[in-house]
Structure 1
């Protein structure tokens, strides 16, 4: 700090002390009461902080537990079996796969699959 800053600080302190001595007793009493009231009760910001910190900690624990434990995705449940569509489409002269080894929903819309195969061959011929 420079000499000018020290001088300014000294003068401000002198003015403050002189003004605090010249305060009438009624104003000094009101100032002391206001100071006690302000120090006695927590401000809204501190009260909110006291509630938000535990709430956010609880939310983080809940999120971590949901990430760690996902229903239906544990090691006991196996991923769904993939239908071997690439093998079926590789050679159109092959017979369809055995009904015991494939998904039964494949045989629900046989007309659709016939139409799809017909349009697929038509599309190849156009190209």
Structure 2
């Protein structure tokens, strides 16, 4: 199988060399100019291709690093320590007050003071 391919290649080279000897000089000059232009475009496109080959993996690595960083540092919620030493997460955005069993008991000792503070803070803000 290798012999017919080799014969075909040799015959094509001979025909090319013979035809190139009989080419008009103006046509040859245009062919050389077209070849130079095509090679210049190929160099520019290969530069862009190489740049893309470098930037694509770098961008993917940056995205993976960002996601890994985001996933490894969870959002820390405010915590409260009860008198018996148990740490509880406090929901600061909730609309309901904390459960009496889960809240600090000292908050419920001075409820009158908190009522007075709420009443007087409104009058102070209106001044």
More strand by share: 2
